[in-house]
Every structure is written in C-alpha cells, then in structure tokens.
Amino acid sequence: MTAATLVTPAQQEFDPYAGRSAASPIRFLYALNPLGKLLAPLPAMALLVFVRDAATPAAFIVLSYAIILVGASMTKRLTAVLVAVPLAIIVIGVGFSIWTDAAQVDHTAPALQIGGWTLYWGALAIGFTTGLRIAAIVSLTLIVGLSTTGPDLVRSMVQQLRVPYRIGYTALAAFRFVPRFGYELEVIRQAHRVRGAHGGRGPVAAIARWSGYIVPLLAGAIRHAERVALAMDARAFGAYPDRTERYLVPWHTRDTVFVVLFVAASALIFWFTYPWTLA
C-alpha cells in the first residue's frame, strides 16, 4: 500500500499526473497537450491522400485504434464511433465500387453479374481502397477528437501557437451556440406539443411545424447573443493585447515524445508499404 501524495489544486490543474500513484494510472491521451495530438497525425493524414494501396491505410487504422483503445477510456460514445468506422468502410467501399467506370477495370475477373451489368474485382479493389483511405484519415482525427475538449484546444492554440485570443475565444463562444440552440429547439417543440400546435402527419404538417420553430428560435438566438456580448464587454474582452489565462494547457516533455514517436511510426509504415499502388 502506497502513501497518498498531497497535491494542491493548482498542481492538479496544471499536471493531470500529479498526485497519482502507479496503482491508479490515468489514460495517457487525456494528459497530452491537444496540439500534440493534433500535429502528430497531420503528416500522415496529408500523405494518405496520395496513397493507392490498401495496406497503408489499414496499417494506420490499426495504429489509431491501438492508441485510442490504450489511451482513452471506453465509453458508449467511443464504442459507437469505433464500430461505425468499419461499417463506413463497407458502405463507402460498395458505393465507390459501383461508381467506378467498368471500362477501366474490365480486364479483371467479374465478381458479380446482374443482367448486362458486371461488377469487376478491380472496381471492388478501388472502392474498398478508397473506403480504407477515408477511414484511416478519420481514425487519425479521432485521436484528438475523442480525447480533447474544445476549450482546451482553443487554450492551447492561444498559448502555444499565439493565435490572437480575440479570434480563439470568439470562435469558441460561437461553437457553444450549437448545443444552446439544440436545447432551445427542444423546449420550443415541447411547448408546441403541449399547446397542440401544428398537429397531424404528412409533409404539409411537418413544414408547418418547422416553420413555427423558426421565429422563436431566432428570437432566442438573438437574446443569447446579446447576453454573451454584454458579458464579454463587462469583462473588457479585447481591450488589451494579452489576456490573463485562468487555466493553462502547458506543453510537456511527454507531448514531444508522443509527437516524435507517432511521426516515426508513420514514417516506418510508409517506408514498408511503398510504393503505394494497386498491384
């Protein structure tokens, strides 16, 4: 049994690892700087646009899944996303296989024939390779997307990339309007339901219902925007070139190690799978 370590709230705020014993480790992705998780996969994502084989994107999907499964906590949302990616590969692969010009792949063996229409194995290879490539890019974005919050990403961009805080926090405030609109829309729908407004079924009733949501939703959006603007003015937002940060998102050595190791792993994958052809 290990002795507990006394940690101040400031230490816990600046260092997620502070005060934790080896018996209770946290998932490492949550302790990394958001910029590190964003910058590390960028070179691989850029190069994946140009690959034409199936092995390279499949390797990056495996790498992304391994990092997410080890570094992130399993939740219903995470499980749903990880299950949706393979399903998306199948849907995209079949769709692109059907859209592929048969004249370009008619030298390959037919995989399916329905009347005068033929689906060739070459079309399937192109379709599923495209699906794997898209899924690999999406899987790499999930590393940062599933383990980072919007405010932390904005704070890291302002603190490390020196993005003007007027732009960063204004964009963050705009993004926070979306869940607010969803909540207000649900309240408006419930109010209409209680009053029995725009009842019935069919496209005409649906159009009438949604047209009744527009005016109160727009009025609520204007009121919310005014409150946010007044709150920002009351705090002298934008009055000075710099802003005092209450929450710091520092760049640690572990962030550098993660970026270097990820770039090295990406380079090895591209090295072993080159050339990227459909041979």
pLDDT score of 265: 95
**CA–CA separation, 68 vs 266, rounded Å?**
16
Strand-pairing partners, residue 120, are 110
Q: To 10 degrees, what angle do helices 55-71 and 121-145 make?
A: 30
Q: Are 6 and 21 in contact (CB under 8 A)?
A: no
Print pLDDT tens along the chain (279 aa).
Answer: 444 444 443 344 434 434 333 333 468 899 899 999 999 999 999 999 999 889 999 999 999 999 999 998 888 888 999 999 999 999 999 999 988 888 888 888 888 888 888 888 989 999 999 999 999 999 999 999 888 888 888 888 888 888 888 888 888 887 778 888 888 888 888 887 777 766 667 677 677 777 778 888 888 888 888 888 888 888 787 777 777 777 888 899 999 999 999 999 999 999 998 876 654
**CA–CA separation, 91 vs 86, rounded Å?**
9
User: Mind listing the pLDDT tens digit for each residue in 162-219?
Assistant: 888 888 888 888 777 888 888 888 888 888 777 776 666 767 767 777 777 888 888 8
Angle at 85 between CA 260 and CA 254, to 5 degrees: 20
Q: How many residues are given for the chain?
A: 279
pLDDT score of 36: 92
